[in-house]
Structure 1
Amino acid sequence: MNDTATETRTVTVEREIAWPPEKIWRALTQPHLIGEWLMKGDIKPVVDHRFHFSADWGGVDCQVLEVEPNRILSYSWGGLGLESVVTWTLSPTDTGTRLRMEQSGFKSDQQQAYFGAKAGWPRFLGNLEQLLARMD
């Protein structure tokens, strides 16, 4: 039986970035850096750490689910009725890093959140690349 009410969708954005995973990891896990490209939040790369991201439109409650330094960072992303998971995967390449962001858990009746994420994440990753270019 196919139950469409429980089907979920995922937004995935992948980029080849010309910096090593260690540098990108810092931008993903240090509050003063993540605040520059994503949202303000007291993130820490520690499993079970709870934190809140805030922006002018509101905020999301998060909890760190998985940490593999310089490789995988995953946290829950909940707010406005959305219960999802954001997973960052960093894979070293000859020229830098393949960065993959996956946000999963959009229910079929959460079109606005889904399309917002589809539009928003590429923009956030563009901001991230600009920040990486400025970082030491």
Structure 2
Amino acid sequence: MTDTAAETLCVVVEREVAFPAEKIWRALTQPHLIEEWLMKNDFKPVVDHRFNLQADWGSVGCQVLAVEPNRTLSYTWGALGLESVVTWTLTPTSTGTRLRMEQSGFRPDQRQAYQGARFGWPKFFAGLEQVLAGMAD
């Protein structure tokens, strides 16, 4: 038996943002807001809900794994042969929220997908922060 966890790669983006967890949660779970910073989608924050993210280059097939409002959101992310898991963790701080996104499950032979995620997620984060800044409390 091999330890496959040791053979997979993950991308982590973590930031301190000056917004309450409840506001960030809305941006992570409301389809019209997700579309503004990530992609077109048919997301619902319901465990086992299957949804698609639509981009110019194709679509991402996803399934919700965990929903803990204002704390944790996790879903599968399957595209172009990649089967990974995206997990968002929200931790309140004195000045806002520590927002952590981890995409795990990249195999060593999926370097291109891994590099794409390392490049893409910081851009998505920047878009998310712009959406949050424009949202009403």
| CA–CA distance in structure 1, aligned partners of residues 17 and 125 of structure 2 | 10
Q: TM-score, normalised by structure 2?
A: 0.95
C-alpha deviations, 1:78-135, integer Å up to 9, x for none?
A: 0100000000000000000000000000000000000000000000000000110000
Partner residue in 2 for 1:97? 97
Matched, 1:39 2:63: no
| CA–CA distance in structure 2, aligned partners of residues 87 and 51 of structure 1 | 16
| CA–CA distance in structure 2, aligned partners of residues 83 and 40 of structure 1 | 20
Poorly superposed stretches of 4+, deviation over 6 Å:
1-4
Q: TM-score, normalised by structure 1?
A: 0.96
| CA–CA distance in structure 2, aligned partners of residues 105 and 3 of structure 1 | 13
Matched, 1:135 2:128: no
| CA–CA distance in structure 1, aligned partners of residues 61 and 2 of structure 2 | 31
C-alpha deviations, 1:8-35, integer Å up to 9, x for none?
A: 1000000000000000000000000000
Partner residue in 2 for 1:82? 82
State the AA in 2 paired with 1:42. D
The unaligned stretches of length 5 or more in structure 1 are: none
The 3 A distance-change label for structure 1 pair 3 and 64 is closer
Deviation at 1:3, TM superposition (A): 6.8
* Percent identity for Structure 1 against Structure 2: 74
| CA–CA distance in structure 1, aligned partners of residues 44 and 99 of structure 2 | 19
C-alpha deviations, 1:30-58, integer Å up to 9, x for none?
A: 00000000011111110000000011011
The 3 A distance-change label for structure 1 pair 21 and 3 is closer
The unaligned stretches of length 5 or more in structure 2 are: none
